[in-house]
Structure 1
Amino acid sequence: MRPYSLDLRQKIIDVYIEGNTSQRQIAQQFRVAYSFVRKLIKQYRETGEIAPKRRTEQTPTKLSNEQLEILKTIAESNHDATLAELCDLLEQRVGVRIG
């Protein structure tokens, strides 16, 4: 899911700063989740920023480079296998279960 635009974020903050509207009403007015409005306002108060947060860490892969090569070989030799079958074959070969 893509982050909401800066334009929308700024409009939400502008309505919030006016002070006449609750966070729930703002969420309804802009048709966004209340939790988004709450988090955006919290971020604005703490940092003064409204831009979407950047992901700083990539989730590490469960497989080593060697295991990835084995998976590639399995996939090439079983080109008509389903994803579940490939997962089973990899688990049998290297002992790691992926989904």
Structure 2
Amino acid sequence: MKPYSIELREKIVKVYEQGDTSIRKVAARFDVSTGFVQKILKQKQMTGHVQPQQQGGSLKSVLNSRTNELIQMVEKYPDSKLSEYCEYWRLNYNEAVS
């Protein structure tokens, strides 16, 4: 989902700062959630701007670069449960996985 435009964000802040309205009314007027209006107002107060922040991204798995170790562990203990593999990994590599 694309972020809301800077123009919309600035309009929301401007309308709210003019006073005589609530966050709920501003959200209804611009067809956005009250949480979004609160977030934009807080962002404006904290940073001085309303530009979209970088979105999400995924965390890289600890196991991505450790494929060989993972294969050896499973071959060594083929009948283990997932929880046992996780515990083994934590004890031997000092990294928590789930």
- TM value normalised by structure 1: 0.59
Query: Please, which runs of 5 or more residues in structure 2 have no aligned partner?
Result: 68-84, 87-98
Q: Which runs of 4+ in 1 moved over 6 A?
A: none
> Match for residue 60 of structure 2?
60
Please list, as runs of the form range in 1=range in 2, the aligned pairs for 1:56-95 lying within 5 A after superposition.
58-61=58-61, 63-65=63-65, 67=67
RMSD of the alignment, in Å? 3.0
- The Cα shift of 1:61 comes to 2.8
Distance in 1 between residues matched to 2:56 and 2:25, nearest whole Å: 32
Higher radius of gyration, 1 or 2: 2
- Provide the C-alpha distance between the structure 1 equivalents of 2:31 and 2:56, rounded to a whole number of angstroms: 29
5+ residue gaps, structure 1? 68-94
Partner of 2:45: 45
Percent identity, aligned pairs only, is 38
Judging changes above 3 Å, is the alpha-carbon distance between structure 1 residues 3 and 55 closer, same or farther for their aligned structure 2 residues? closer
